[in-house]
Structure 1
């Protein structure tokens, strides 16, 4: 009996030794695993599933499975590249800066069942009760398939809302073919105006559109190169008043601040034709546009100003003050004279280099002020102070102030001017005082009052 007891004792010791060695080997093997498995906590129930089959060992697992994070009810660090199952709680550890995750707590304080965890992981049906690496792999695959399906559905929805880029390119190419440059548009408008098949309304419409385009300096130069400028000059001879009016309008727009066009226009005879329109019986609208074109030609162009005086242009403008029905042009004429006189004065008083010497010499040949004094423009201008519009008075006061150096003796002997200035001072004193009462210390009427007082002071 003691012999059998000894054998049993020896066998038990051997079994115990085998268990210890197995445990040590198992622990060593787990320690040598990648960090993801070192952080994995397996419950005893997870060692075997309901079918009592052994779980897949590390040697049998796919390398991709090692990147799966296995959450427990304790916070664990998530290593870079690990996939966290859906439904897990994730937080940032502010002390270590690591991201951590765990299984969510159940509402009743008890651990979630495997079935509940299985639902959170994407409702994937598995045979075992444990979350093995293969199960998580299936879940991730399911999630990828779901995301792929959603992305595909989104792409289909976008395709329905937006047209393909190839179709858009084709449409843009078609649009570019139909787009016309300003040059092409002006060519068509000139052709319409010059065509004998066009009606009067069509020609007027073409001129109206041309005026818009030739305002730009480059367009005006193109307009000149395509022969449009000469057509407008010839249009000033038209028997149709409305064509004269709009031809002068286009001409004035092209001439504004464009020296090249100004030179071509005066060489093409535009100055003479404009003066003829202003000197003869014409509708007011025609004369108004002709005066606009004349002003555009003369400003900042001393050669044109010199030719203007030689052709008797100042007398033509003077005659407008004797014509009936053109009173609205009087202020425009006075404003033009003021601009031309001040333009020359500013150039002579300013510092300039050698490049401006030629232009200054041209201005010195323009004897505008002597002609103004000789033709008694001093009185013509001052008489306009009797007009009731404040805007008109403002422009006339500025012109009288400029002419004061040349017309002082003439103004001192003008009793009508003295009376007008006294009336204006009284009127603007009251208006300026009213402005101050309203809180406007530097108002419009105070400025006009200052101009009146300056002229009165200089005439004493």
Structure 2
């Protein structure tokens, strides 16, 4: 009787199997069932089935999932086989091991590379102590920037470059409400006030940005600015400044000081702010369009702001603010100086932004400027046709032309209804 091992423990062969003195052919499996010939050796890891009627066997390769299952089964069997050592065998195996010796071979070259890449902790600690690193608060940084600015009294190119860096840093920090208060308390307003007289246009422009950041939405700092004469200084700079970009920054600084601050608006009118704005709007220069729109928008925003405050139901706490707004004669002063004709003349512009800003201002002032605006019915009608075509041609993707068209319709309907 041949001694054939169980298929699970059968050893795969590449050609033939040898068992004692007999040679047996190795069964070659495929993905399809095949009959196993008598005497063929079946490798491990195959599907094997027995035909009970004929007594013949068939075999094929395992599916992928079956292979995994078979592998897990083999691994489990191996683990179980490895666990069949008793305590005596383990003690005998360990008795020949010398646990007192160090069999780890050190790689000196590798250790040298590590030492070159990384510095010892004690050395790093010493370097950090020498640097004396510490985290500065915003207040400490502001104090340091102010001290640096105080030491710069010259108006030469080298110092101006340092001033630009300091002013840029200040603008960043002064957008924070508390930082602006600290800056004001440390004398920062007085210090940068002097920079309006710099011969460097970049310094003058950056100074306006710094002040705008400090004043915006900060009543305590705004009050100090009015008390220190900043309105007069800004209006003077707006009148004499030859550089277009600086003028834009002056308008920005003025707007942050005037918005939602009726006390400053009263001073603005008192110190000739209306005439300064009209001069900007009527001035003809190559870059004047953007500057004109900034000035027109500022005046429209201030008029709208007052109308909104006066239209609200005011309690006793709001009474003082209402009284302050009633003292502002911005609308009256503008109309007295021909503002209605000034803004209406911009309807012939080819720029959509200018048209929009002009129409918004006209809508705000239509009750006071109706007579002047009627003289602009012809350009208004031409604009109606233009923006109707733009809207119909599907160029209006974000509703921008629709908004302008709505403003035109509101104005023309209002002006024509008055005639009827």
Equivalences for residues 439-454 of structure 1 within 5 A: 440=397, 443-454=399-410
Matched, 1:387 2:345: no
Paired with 2:177 and 2:324, the residues of 1 have a C-alpha distance of: 24
SS in 2 for 1:435: coil
Select which of 352, 369, 373 maps to 1:411: 373
CA deviation after TM superposition for structure 1 residue 246, in Å: 3.3
Select which of 381, 391, 404 maps to 1:432: 391
CA deviation after TM superposition for structure 1 residue 145, in Å: 9.7
TM-score (norm 2): 0.67
CA deviation after TM superposition for structure 1 residue 305, in Å: 0.2
Structure 1 residues 193 and 91, CA gap change in structure 2 (3 angstroms): same
| Residues 181-236 of structure 1: CA deviation (Å, up to 9, x unaligned) | 44444444434444235734423423344333323322222221221211222322
1:422 aligned partner: 381
Equivalences for residues 291-440 of structure 1 within 5 A: 291-325=251-285, 326-351=288-313, 353-412=315-374, 414=375, 417-435=376-394, 440=397
Aligned alpha-carbon RMSD (Å) = 4.0
Equivalences for residues 126-145 of structure 1 within 5 A: 131-132=88-89, 134-135=91-92
| Residues 126-182 of structure 1: CA deviation (Å, up to 9, x unaligned) | xxxx9435236659997x999x979xx9xx99x867666666666666666265444
Residues paired across the two proteins, number? 335
1:102 aligned partner: 80
Conserved? CA contact 1:244–1:286, under 8 Å: yes
Paired with 1:387 and 1:364, the residues of 2 have a C-alpha distance of: 35
Paired with 1:274 and 1:198, the residues of 2 have a C-alpha distance of: 20
TM-score (norm 1): 0.62
CA deviation after TM superposition for structure 1 residue 270, in Å: 0.7
Please tell me whether Structure 1 or Structure 2 has the larger radius of gyration of its CA atoms.
Answer: 1
1:459 aligned partner: 415
SS in 2 for 1:381: helix
CA deviation after TM superposition for structure 1 residue 360, in Å: 2.5
For structure 2, list consecutive stretches of 5 or more residues without a partner in the other structure: 1-73
Paired with 1:179 and 1:387, the residues of 2 have a C-alpha distance of: 54
2:186 aligned partner: 226
2:210 aligned partner: 250
CA deviation after TM superposition for structure 1 residue 248, in Å: 2.8
Structure 1 residues 178 and 102, CA gap change in structure 2 (3 angstroms): closer
| Residues 97-124 of structure 1: CA deviation (Å, up to 9, x unaligned) | xxx962159xxxxxx9xxxx7xxx9xxx
For structure 1, list consecutive stretches of 5 or more residues without a partner in the other structure: 1-88, 93-99, 106-111, 122-129
